[in-house]
Amino acid sequence: MPSTCLALILAAGEGTRMRSSLPKVLHQVAGISMLQHVMRVSRKAGCEAIAVVAGNGSEQVSETVAKEDGTAEVFLQTERLGTAHAVLAARKALETGSDHLLVLFGDTPLLSPATLTRMREKLSDGAAIVVLGFRTETPHGYGRLVEDGGKLVAIREEADASEDEKAITFCNGGIMGFNGSHALELLDAIGNDNAKGEFYLTDAVEIATSRNLPVVALEADEREVIGVNTRQGLSEVEALWQDKARLAAMAGGVSMTAPDTVFLHADTQLEPDVLVEPHVVFGPGVKVHTGATIRAFSHLEGAEIGSGAVIGPYARLRPGTRMGANTKVGNFVEIKQAVIADGAKVNHLSYIGDAEVGRAANIGAGTITCNYDGMNKHLTRIGENAFIGSNSALVAPVSIGNGAYVGSGSVITMDVEDNALGIARGRQVNKAGFAEMIRARNAEIRKARKDS
* Catalytic member of 27, 265, 348, 378: 348
Q: Are 417 and 404 in contact (CB under 8 A)?
A: yes
Helix axes 34-44, 58-68, angle to 10 degrees: 40
Phi and psi based region of residue 302 (left: phi greater than 0; alpha: psi -120 to 50; beta: remaining): left
Three-state DSSP class for residue 179: strand
Are 7 and 42 in contact, with CB atoms under 8 Å apart? yes
- CA 44 to CA 36: how far, in whole Å? 12
The helix or strand, by DSSP H or E, that contains position 113, with its residue range, turns out to be helix 113-124
Active site residue 100: no
How do strand 333-340 and strand 362-363 relate by DSSP bridges? unpaired
275-276 and 368-370 as β-strands: parallel, antiparallel, unpaired?
Answer: unpaired
Buried residues in 180-208 as b, exposed as e (16+ CB within 10 A): bebbbebbeebeeeeeeebbbbbbbbbbb
DSSP states of 40-103? HHHHHTT-SEEEEEEBTBHHHHHHHHHHH-TT-EEEE--S---HHHHHHTTHHHHTT--SEEEE
First-to-last alpha carbon distance for the chain, in angstroms, is 97
Q: For residue 39, how far is the Cα from the chain centroid?
A: 13
Q: Which residues are tagged catalytic?
A: 348
